Amino acid sequence: MEIRSTPIKDVYELYPKVFKDARGFFLETYREDLLEKHGINTRWVQDNQSFSVAGTVRGLHFQHAPHAQAKLVRVISGKVYDVCVDLRKDSPTFGQHHGLILDGEQHNMLYVPAGFAHGFSVLEDAVFTYKCGSFYHKASEGGVIWNDAQLNIDWQVEEALVSEKDQELPSLEEFVKQTGGGL
Ligand SMILES: Cc1cn([C@H]2C[C@H](O)[C@@H](COP(=O)(O)OP(=O)(O)O[C@H]3O[C@@H](C)C(=O)[C@@H](O)[C@H]3O)O2)c(=O)[nH]c1=O
């Protein structure tokens, strides 16, 4: 597995080695020792899975401290454009995002630290799965609107299918006011 740093500190892309043969393929989907080499010592406590039709956008989500979640995200089948947004107060890259294609061919992953909002758009019907470093805590859920003008994320979908809950998320500007500058 190759772990690559990104323009945003503490965010990593992971590319597992995929062994293909006549039966199909094999890959390691999680290696604690390799993540530890990058200072990632997250104790993963919850795994989630969702399925989304093409055109869906889920996000941008986070949980407030003390229930903030690191996430290790990947696609089992299909293709998404996955995005994390740096919302760490005082981070030099606050408000910047990192996006990449995750798909069921490369089986690549993104490590999203706590302090980031996360979301994805679905380019081909996708089964999405992720590990979480903290349990789901409904009262701590927060987010930023997916199509925020300041964030200016190119989601690569024409007509986005977005949940009612996600349509009501605040803008980045409102989020900054509410939180006094970030997470
Ligand atoms: C996230 C989550 C949701 N749920 C429930 C709440 C709700 O009734 C139903 C669907 O929840 P949502 O609409 O929030 O699901 P979804 O929009 O897929 O939420 C997820 O989006 C991506 C982008 C993330 O980064 C995740 O952390 C998570 O926030 O599932 C749980 O029971 N446990 C969980 O951990």
Span 11-68, pLDDT tens digits: 999 999 999 999 999 999 999 999 999 999 999 999 999 999 999 999 999 999 999 9
Atom of ligand 1 nearest to the CA of 73: 25
Domain limits, the chain: 42-179
Instruction: Kindly provide the ipTM of the predicted complex, given to two decimals.
Output: 0.98
Ligand 1 atom closest to 136 (CA): 35
Reported as a single tens digit per residue, the pLDDT across 161-172 is 999 999 999 999
3-class DSSP assignment, residue 28:
coil
136-150 pLDDT tens trace:
999 999 999 999 999
pLDDT tens digits for range 68-119: 999 999 999 999 999 999 999 999 999 999 999 999 999 999 999 999 999 9
Looking at the chain, the number of H-run helices and the number of E-run strands are 3, 11
Q: What is the pLDDT at residue 16?
A: 98
Determine phi and psi for 173, rounding to 5 degrees. Answer: -60, -45
Q: Which of 12, 61, 97, 107 is labelled catalytic?
A: 61
Report the atom number in ligand 1 closest to the C-alpha of 50.
18
pLDDT score at 75: 98
- Whether 61 is in the pocket of ligand 1, judged by its Cβ within 6 Å, is yes
Nearest CA to ligand 1 atom 32: 136
Return d(Cα 14, Cα 109) in angstroms, integer: 5
pLDDT at 142: 98
Quick check: is 15 catalytic? no
With a 6 A CB cut-off, is 79 part of the ligand 1 pocket? no
Instruction: Find out whether 183 and 87 touch, Cβ atoms under 8 Å.
Output: yes
Tokens 């949980």 found at: 63
CATH superfamily label, 42-179: Jelly Rolls (2.60.120.10)
